[in-house]
């Protein structure tokens, strides 16, 4: 390694020294984002945005395959509409960005830049829904939202972020509940299979549910610093919004009824999960299914065989491009070592090196980003073997994250033990909870951990004495410190 | 036709009676949009948004194929950044939506909701560009923008709209000019080939150019009311923005230089163009390449052969779905006639009817939306013939629009003639203009027509005495009343 090459990596703080600084180093160094001159806002640069486009593409397909259509609702919500649902306004008004001036005119009514779109969408739904024939309404929107946050971190919490928000309307409670759970399942499957991150899932407690919802369901991912990241939520909104926005439909029995609604969303926060779940001290490690570049071809250009090597690299890249997302790095101004570091930093799953010796041997040297393992692949097997390796890398990244999660989950039965763990090393805790909010609050106060979710009974159906009060019998739930 | 069926169509104003009302009827009736309770804002409903998604998909591919990457920049621009370029702020500040409050805090500096993103993007580019190695920068973003408009019409002019805006940075003026023209060419090719609308193109005059640009190029489409619609623009920004935002790069000759920039965009306004260019009194007529549904299969369900007809309709639809965007309309609660009207209203290019007689004859009856022509297609030829018909419809819609344009273009040499035409019937005018802004203003005053573009010399390179002053020799340019 030359001096410059070392420098490239040296500029990144080690994960073990300062995880938080490592994260900030990575997002800048990889060109995923940059800070913008507006508080808490960022510019998502092409490399970060390409990841978002892949997330969008893969998730949008699932959203459509489950019968939803996309639409677009206004950015601005009049204050009076936001005010209709009491819990909702309490939750979102304090972090609103407010438009008070339009052109030269001071507005008669303030407009909030949407922090979420229930209020404006319910207003429109009230115009569109008349009878049972109009149901279900299954609509999703991809857009930007704004929450004026006090403390922000790139991708994880920004004043403006990108997301999708599904908003559905149903005849019955059962249908709405089924929809809310179905979309949570879509999120879990997507995050695990495409992003290679294992997910915990379940229901939020009353204190952690969405402002205005009847029930909130969540997927949570455990990050390498032992904190949980809420990565997607799905809400059964009940009839709250229908009542205040007067959405009514004539049912088959000829009576007017309030329908049941859901909403569900994931955001650019998922990019933060991706970075943290898989990254190492050399940079990102992207799962092949989500990586903007799945493999990079680096020709090793000695003077002797320069032309032949370059030509072969171009030929192989062109062939691989038919099946994979390929980058050929034939830049002259950088050494192979510098390039290796740069592509490792960017987390490209597979690197193919082609030098004079590879040329002689009739193949390429493949290096995996996840394990560093090298292997020679004869040209005739190249496309097959690359496909296999990408699949193996996808599986291996999930396996590593899964075993991290298992090794960092503890079952505890006393608050003492709970506190000790949180003081020494943050972990994911499974412990019984009586269901009372005073115990929930006290645990939070003493451990800074919150209930991430009450697991579904099909997964964990255990009971025990409440870890806090000890008096009441309680369900075993997930606790962790949270982002 | 039953009473209800007639009603369905009757609710739409005839184009010849009131074109403007026809347009408003169509956008509501087809479920493309609805008015939102915020001045000048609309909700784009699934059918309208599906058209936008097709526009996005087809155009995004072209943007990427020409070497650009997508990114995302903040929604908010601090007033001080907007103020840096004098013409730019003058053009956009008066129609700004201003955020003055964030959470509980009155902001020290107002933020404008982006009306266009030059200011914030140039700020970021100033951080990213250091040397010639960083050039060209070829970035595009898909996003929402807001211009607080006094008078609005769905899709054509709304306070909030969706668009893409490309922002590129180059070493030299030649490169920037080439880029601006290349992207204009991409727009023209896209609008003509995918949307089947013929385009005029050329350069804007000084008075019509983009606020802050050196030169603006435009594509314009002639609508059936004789007005021109500016449908996409591409700007050579010169070095204006680089200078005020201090974007400098170290060139290969080791001196610091200001780079040259371009920006270019098309918006949801294109949906308005699509509606107007092809629609008729029965509704939309969508070009197959952009239509959310390319063909609808309507089973004619008599009591006798009900099951067999339905089964065949399902079987054929499933087969066609592998190649085309297909809707099977097997709803029981509507008559075939009602369905025909509804799908005609929605502009679906091709309808396939399957009744007991078609079943006996071993095929389906196809009805074209553009011409109303019917033909019987034997099952064995179905997929081939559907492909041919869709292609023919695409070509025919373009041909009709093209011949409308030719029939409604006049060459005039006197202002008298010009005024007469505009008083009787609006047309697209080709007339010589001396290049003076006083003539440009006077023509506008007397005819309400503006110079839509100065055509490229390769297309029209004619001269003559100025249609206004008569004194000076001038280039022949396009005039029309504009949206």
For residues A56-77, give the mean pLDDT: 98
Confidence tier at B10 by pLDDT (50, 70, 90): low
Confidence tier at A3 by pLDDT (50, 70, 90): very low
Measured between alpha carbons, how far is B468 from A358 in angstroms, rounded to an integer? 74
The answer to whether residues B248 and B257 touch, using CB atoms and an 8 Å cutoff, is: yes
For residues A294-323, give the mean pLDDT: 94
Write down all domains in chain A, each with its CATH number in brackets: 11-278 (3.30.930.10), 295-397 (3.40.50.800), 409-480 (3.30.110.30)
Nearest residue, CB atoms, A97 vs list B94, B99, B146: B99
Give chain B positions within 8 Å (CB) of A72.
43-44, 49, 52, 162
Question: How far A71 CA lies from chain B's nearest CA (Å)?
Answer: 5
Residue listed under structure tokens 């320069």? A306
Measured between alpha carbons, how far is A59 from A194 in angstroms, rounded to an integer? 9
Question: How far B395 CA lies from chain A's nearest CA (Å)?
Answer: 29
Q: What was the pLDDT predicted at B7?
A: 54
Structure tokens, A270: 């998922």
Please give the C-alpha separations between residue A21 and each of A26, A27, A40, A197, in angstroms, as whole numbers: 9, 10, 17, 22
DSSP A55-109: HHHHHHHHHHHTT-EE-B--SEEEHHHHTTSHHHHHHHGGG-EEEEEETTEEEEE
Nearest residue, CB atoms, A71 vs list B46, B73, B124: B46
Mean pLDDT for chain B? Answer: 95
Q: With an 8 Å Cβ cutoff, is B1 touching chain A?
A: no
Chain A, window 223-282: residues with a beta carbon less than 8 angstroms from a chain B beta carbon: none
Structure tokens, A183: 């979309």
Give chain B positions within 8 Å (CB) of A73.
36, 43-44
Q: What was the pLDDT predicted at A2?
A: 43
Nearest residue, CB atoms, A148 vs list B50, B98, B103: B103
Interface test with B, best of A36, A119, A122, A167 (most B CBs within 10 A): A36
> What confidence tens digit (pLDDT) does each residue in A249-306 have?
999 999 999 999 999 999 999 999 999 999 999 999 999 999 999 999 999 988 878 9
H helices present in B346-466, as ranges: 356-361, 382-407, 415-424, 437-447
Backbone angles phi, psi at A170, to 5 degrees: -135, 160
Tell whether the model's pLDDT for residue B1 goes beyond 50: no
H or E segment and range at residue B115: none
Interface test with A, best of B44, B61, B76 (most A CBs within 10 A): B76
> What confidence tens digit (pLDDT) does each residue in A107-143 have?
999 999 999 999 999 999 999 999 999 999 999 999 9
Question: Quick one: A378 exposed, middle or buried, by C-beta within 10 A (0-12, 13-18, 19+)?
Answer: exposed
Higher pLDDT, B230 or B86: B230
Give chain A positions within 8 Å (CB) of B43.
71-74, 120, 124
Task: Give B7's contacts (C-beta < 8 A, 6+ positions apart).
Answer: none
Chain B, window 317-346: residues with a beta carbon less than 8 angstroms from a chain A beta carbon: 333
Measured between alpha carbons, how far is B290 from B187 in angstroms, rounded to an integer? 15
For residues A359-387, give the mean pLDDT: 97
Tell whether the model's pLDDT for residue B6 goes beyond 80: no
Confidence tier at B3 by pLDDT (50, 70, 90): very low
Tell whether the model's pLDDT for residue A354 goes beyond 70: yes
Q: What was the pLDDT predicted at A302?
A: 81
Nearest residue, CB atoms, A139 vs list B34, B42, B46: B46
Q: What was the pLDDT predicted at B2?
A: 43
Q: What percent of chain A lies above the pLDDT cut of 70?
A: 98
Q: Report the chain A residue with the minimal C-alpha distance to residue B117.
A: A43
Question: Quick one: B280 exposed, middle or buried, by C-beta within 10 A (0-12, 13-18, 19+)?
Answer: middle
For residues A407-423, give the mean pLDDT: 96
Measured between alpha carbons, how far is B58 from A100 in angstroms, rounded to an integer? 38
Residue A189 has, within 13 A of its CA and on its CB side, a CA count of 11
Q: What was the pLDDT predicted at A1?
A: 37
Q: Report the chain A residue with the minimal C-alpha distance to residue B139.
A: A46
Q: What was the pLDDT predicted at A9?
A: 53
H or E segment and range at residue B341: helix B336-345
For residues A352-381, give the mean pLDDT: 96
Q: What was the pLDDT predicted at B112?
A: 98
> What confidence tens digit (pLDDT) does each residue in B404-429 have?
999 999 999 999 999 999 999 899 99
Confidence tier at B9 by pLDDT (50, 70, 90): low
Interchain proximity B139–A44, CB inside 8 Å? no
Q: Report the chain B residue with the minimal C-alpha distance to residue A114.
A: B75
Q: What was the pLDDT predicted at A472?
A: 83
Q: Report the chain A residue with the minimal C-alpha distance to residue B97.
A: A102
Question: Nearest-CA neighbor of A287 among A394, A143, A131, A151?
Answer: A394
H helices present in B35-148, as ranges: 46-65, 79-82, 86-92, 118-128
Mean pLDDT for chain A? Answer: 95
Tell whether the model's pLDDT for residue A7 goes beyond 80: no
Q: Cα Rg for chain B, rounded, in angstroms?
A: 25
Q: What was the pLDDT predicted at B150?
A: 87
User: Structure pTM?
Assistant: 0.96
Interface test with B, best of A42, A84, A90, A97 (most B CBs within 10 A): A97
Q: What percent of chain B lies above the pLDDT cut of 70?
A: 98
DSSP A14: P
């Amino acid at each position: 390694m030359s001096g410059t090459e070392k420098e490239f990596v040296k500029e990144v703080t080690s994960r073990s020294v300062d995880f938080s600084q490592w994260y900030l180093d990575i997002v800048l160094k990889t060109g995923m984002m940059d800070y913008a001159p507006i508080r808490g806002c960022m510019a998502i640069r092409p490399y970060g945005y390409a990841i978002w486009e892949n997330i969008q593409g893969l998730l949008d397909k699932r959203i459509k395959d489950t019968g939803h259509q996309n639409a677009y609702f206004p950015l601005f919500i009049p204050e009076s509409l936001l005010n209709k649902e009491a819990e909702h306004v309490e939750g979102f008004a304090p972090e609103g960005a407010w438009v008070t001036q339009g052109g030269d005119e001071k507005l008669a009514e303030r407009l909030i830049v949407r922090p979420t779109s229930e209020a404006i969408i319910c207003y429109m739904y009230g115009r569109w829904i008349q009878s049972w024939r109009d149901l279900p309404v299954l609509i999703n929107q991809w857009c930007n939202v704004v929450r004026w946050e006090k403390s922000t971190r790139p991708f994880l919490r920004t004043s403006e972020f990108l997301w999708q928000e599904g908003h559905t309307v149903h005849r019955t409670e059962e249908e709405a509940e089924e929809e809310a759970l179905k979309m949570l399942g879509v999120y879990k499957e997507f995050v695990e299979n495409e992003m290679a991150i294992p997910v915990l899932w379940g229901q939020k407690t009353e204190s952690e549910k969405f402002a205005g919802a009847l029930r909130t369901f969540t997927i949570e991912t455990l990050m390498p610093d032992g904190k949980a990241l809420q990565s997607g939520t799905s809400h059964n909104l009940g009839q709250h919004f229908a009542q205040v926005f007067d959405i009514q439909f004539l049912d088959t029995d000829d009576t007017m009824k309030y329908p049941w609604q859901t909403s569900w969303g994931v955001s650019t926060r998922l990019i933060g999960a991706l970075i943290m779940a898989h990254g190492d001290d050399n940079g990102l490690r992207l799962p092949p299914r989500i990586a903007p570049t799945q493999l990079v071809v680096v020709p090793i250009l000695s003077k002797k065989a320069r032309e032949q090597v370059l030509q072969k690299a171009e030929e192989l890249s062109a062939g691989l491009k038919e099946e994979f997302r390929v980058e050929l790095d034939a830049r002259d101004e950088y050494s192979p070592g510098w390039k290796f570091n740069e592509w490792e930093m960017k987390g490209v799953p597979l690197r193919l090196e082609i030098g004079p010796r590879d040329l002689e041997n009739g193949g390429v040297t493949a290096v995996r980003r996840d394990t560093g393992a090298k292997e020679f692949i004869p040209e005739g097997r190249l496309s097959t073997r690359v496909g296999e390796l990408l699949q193996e890398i996808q599986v291996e990244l999930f396996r590593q994250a899964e075993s991290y999660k298992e090794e960092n989950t503890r079952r505890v039965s006393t608050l003492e033990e709970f506190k000790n763990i949180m003081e020494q090393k943050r972990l994911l805790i499974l412990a019984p909870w009586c269901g009372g909010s005073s115990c929930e609050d006290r645990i939070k106060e003493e451990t800074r951990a919150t209930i991430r979710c009450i697991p579904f009974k099909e997964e964990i159906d255990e009971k025990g004495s409440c870890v806090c009060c000890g008096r009441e019998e309680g369900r075993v739930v997930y606790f962790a410190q949270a982002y």
